[in-house]
C-alpha cells in the first residue's frame, strides 16, 4: 500500500513488510521495532489489525510506548464474550437469556438449546466483527451449525469455545458511544443505529436512533456507562446492544476501540473523538467540562465499498479511473482513494465513508440521497447504487429497521437499470450531440409558437412520439 493516500500524505512513512497483513500489519515484533526505531511516543491502533489486541497493548507498554486505547487487561476481559457478559450482569445490565458459560460438547449444546428454546444463536466466546456466530432455528440444524461455527471460531480466533443465546427475531442493532478518562469518569455521547447490515457487517449508521425517545435513551446510556465503570474502562469504546420490537435492549459486546462509524457521533456533537483519545492517553482527560456537548441534529454514514451488489456483493479490485466526491454544507467525505489508485487485494475493501448532517432525520436522509447521486467512482464496482436504493426505500425513510432489512427488501433486481429512464437519457444525449454539431433547427408552428423540442427531435431521429 505504498501508493495509498495515507502513506502519500504522511510526513514520514516506513515500510514494515510485504503486502499480506500477517507479514506486516499483524507482525507485532516488526511494528514495535519500527516504532522504537523512529522514537514514536505513542501508537494509535485505528480500528483494525491490532486495535483490540491485548498482546499488542502489552508489547507497547513493555517498549515504553503509549497505546492509545484501554489497558491490556480490559481488552482481554471484554474480548472474551463470556467474561463480558459477566461484567454486564454484575453491572445490572439486561442480558439475552443464554448459557452462563461455555458449552463443551454437542450434547451440552443440545440440552442448552432445548432449555433456552429455539431459535437460538450459537456464538464463539472469542468472536467479534460478525464472525463466529450462527442462528439455529430448529433442533435438526444444530449438529451441522455446531461443527461449522466451532471450526470457524478455531480458525479465526484460535479459540473454539462456544455459548448459546436466545435469538431475538427482527432485532435492531444499536450501540452506545462512551468516553472514559480512566479515573472513574465515563460519559455517554449518544447512540448509533446500526441495524442495516449484511452478514452481520454494518452498511449504514445513523445517530440518533429513530426508535429511542429521551427516556429510553437515558436508560440506554446509563447501562453502557455502568459496564464501562465495572471494568475500569479508559478511552473511547462502544457498547453494543440488541433491541427487540418493544424497545427492550440487551447487552451484546464491547468494542474496545474506535468504531468505523464514529464520524456520525462527531457530526452531531462537534467533538473530534480521535483527539479525545489522544488527550485521555496523555492523562489530560476530556476537552469539555462537566458535561459533554449535547447532540444536535441528525447524521448518517454510508460505507462505500469495492463490491458488486448485483452479484451477491462480490469483491471488486482494480484501478480507480475517475472519482468525484459530493460536496456542500453538511457533507463529509472520509476517503482514501484518488484517480489512478490501484485497490490492493490484501486489505479491507472500504474505499470511503460518506457522512452527512441535517437538522432532522428527513433532511439528513434527503441530503444523503443527493450526495449519493453526485458521488462518482469509476474503474471498479462499488455499492453506491445500492445505497441510493436503500436511502430512498419507503421502509428506511419511515425508520422501520431491523438487522433483517436486506433479507426482507433487497434483491439484485432492485438495482437493474430502469429501461424507460435509460431510453430518455440516451435520447437526451443524442439530442445534445446533434445540437453541438449545429444540425438542429426547430421549425415554427403554424401559429408562430415553437413546437416541443422533445416532439420535434424524436421525429428527426426516427423515434415515435407517444
Active-site positions? 257
In the DSSP assignment, the letter for residue 342 is B
Q: Is the dihedral of CA 199, 200, 201, 202 positive or negative?
A: positive
Element (H, E) at 218: helix 214-230
Contact 167, 98 (CB under 8 A): no
Q: Could you give the CA distance from residue 193 to residue 210 in angstroms, rounded to a whole number?
A: 8
Name 178's bridge partners: 188, 237
Cβ-proximal residues to 378 (8 Å cutoff; 6+ apart), any chain = 320, 321, 322, 323
Beta carbons of 306 and 379 less than 8 angstroms apart: no
Residues 1/344, Cβ–Cβ less than 8 Å: yes
Question: CB neighbours of 268 closer than 8 A, spacing ≥ 6?
Answer: 190, 207, 208, 295, 296, 297, 298, 299, 357
Q: Which residues contact 133 (CB under 8 A, 6 or more apart)?
A: 121, 122, 123, 124, 127, 149, 200
Residues 6 or more apart whose CB falls under 8 angstroms from that of 322 comprise 339, 376, 377, 378, 379
Omega before residue 119 within 30° of 0, cis: yes
CA-CA distance, 149 to 213, in Å (whole number)?
A: 37
C-alpha cell at 30: 516488526
DSSP SS3 for 414: helix
CA nearest neighbour of 406 among 202, 167, 154:
202
Residues 6+ apart with CB under 8 A from 49: 21, 25, 26
Check: CB of residue 166 under 8 Å from CB of residue 192: no
Answer for the pair 290, 232: CB distance below 8 angstroms, yes or no. Answer: no
The answer to whether 81 and 127 have CB atoms below 8 angstroms apart is yes
Grid cell locating 14? 516506513
Burial zone of 328 (CB within 10 Å; 0-12 exposed, 13-18 middle, 19+ buried): exposed
Amino acid at each position: 500500500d505504498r501508493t495509498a493516500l495515507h502513506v502519500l500524505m504522511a510526513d514520514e512513512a516506513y515500510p514494515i513488510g510485504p503486502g499480506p497483513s500477517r507479514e506486516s500489519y499483524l507482525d507485532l515484533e516488526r511494528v514495535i521495532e519500527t516504532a522504537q526505531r523512529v522514537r514514536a511516543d505513542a501508537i494509535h491502533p485505528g480500528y483494525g489489525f491490532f486495535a483490540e489486541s491485548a498482546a499488542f497493548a502489552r508489547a507497547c507498554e513493555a517498549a515504553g510506548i503509549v497505546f492509545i486505547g484501554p489497558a491490556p487487561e480490559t481488552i482481554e476481559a471484554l474480548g472474551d464474550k463470556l467474561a463480558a457478559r459477566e461484567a454486564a450482569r454484575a453491572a445490572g445490565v439486561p442480558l439475552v437469556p443464554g448459557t452462563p458459560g461455555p458449552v463443551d460438547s454437542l450434547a451440552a449444546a443440545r440440552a442448552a438449546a432445548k432449555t433456552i428454546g429455539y431459535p437460538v444463536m450459537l456464538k464463539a466466546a472469542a468472536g467479534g466483527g460478525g464472525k463466529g456466530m450462527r442462528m439455529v432455528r430448529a433442533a435438526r440444524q444444530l449438529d451441522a451449525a455446531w461443527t461449522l461455527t466451532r471450526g470457524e471460531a478455531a480458525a479465526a480466533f484460535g479459540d473454539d469455545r462456544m455459548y448459546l443465546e436466545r435469538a431475538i427475531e427482527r432485532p435492531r442493532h444499536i450501540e452506545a458511544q462512551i468516553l472514559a478518562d480512566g479515573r472513574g469518569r465515563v460519559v455517554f455521547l449518544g447512540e448509533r443505529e446500526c441495524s442495516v447490515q449484511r452478514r452481520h457487517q454494518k452498511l449504514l449508521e445513523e445517530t440518533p436512533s429513530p426508535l429511542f425517545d429521551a427516556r429510553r435513551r437515558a436508560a440506554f446510556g446509563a447501562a453502557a456507562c455502568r459496564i464501562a465503570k465495572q471494568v475500569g474502562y479508559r478511552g473511547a469504546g462502544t457498547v453494543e446492544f440488541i433491541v427487540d420490537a418493544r424497545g427492550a435492549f440487551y447487552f451484546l459486546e464491547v468494542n474496545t476501540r474506535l468504531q468505523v462509524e464514529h464520524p456520525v457521533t462527531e457530526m452531531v456533537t462537534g467533538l473530534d473523538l480521535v483527539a479525545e483519545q489522544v488527550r485521555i492517553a496523555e492523562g489530560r482527560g476530556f476537552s469539555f467540562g462537566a458535561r459533554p456537548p449535547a447532540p444536535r441534529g441528525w447524521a448518517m454514514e454510508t460505507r462505500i465499498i469495492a463490491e458488486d451488489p448485483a452479484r451477491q456483493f462480490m469483491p471488486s479490485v482494480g484501478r480507480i479511473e475517475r472519482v468525484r466526491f459530493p460536496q456542500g454544507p453538511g457533507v463529509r467525505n472520509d476517503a482514501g482513494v484518488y484517480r489512478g489508485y490501484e485497490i490492493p487485494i490484501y486489505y479491507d475493501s472500504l474505499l470511503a465513508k460518506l457522512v452527512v448532517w441535517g437538522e432532522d432525520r428527513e433532511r439528513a436522509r434527503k441530503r444523503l440521497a443527493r450526495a449519493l447521486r453526485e458521488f462518482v467512482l469509476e474503474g471498479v464496482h462499488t455499492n453506491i447504487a445500492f445505497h441510493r436504493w436503500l436511502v430512498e426505500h419507503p421502509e428506511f425513510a419511515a425508520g422501520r429497521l431491523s438487522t433483517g432489512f436486506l433479507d426482507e427488501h433487497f434483491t439484485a433486481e432492485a438495482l437493474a437499470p430502469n429501461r424507460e429512464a435509460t431510453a430518455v437519457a440516451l435520447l437526451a444525449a443524442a439530442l445534445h450531440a446533434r445540437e453541438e454539431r449545429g444540425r438542429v433547427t426547430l421549425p415554427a408552428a403554424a401559429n408562430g409558437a415553437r413546437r416541443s423540442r422533445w416532439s420535434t427531435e424524436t421525429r428527426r431521429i426516427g423515434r415515435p412520439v407517444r
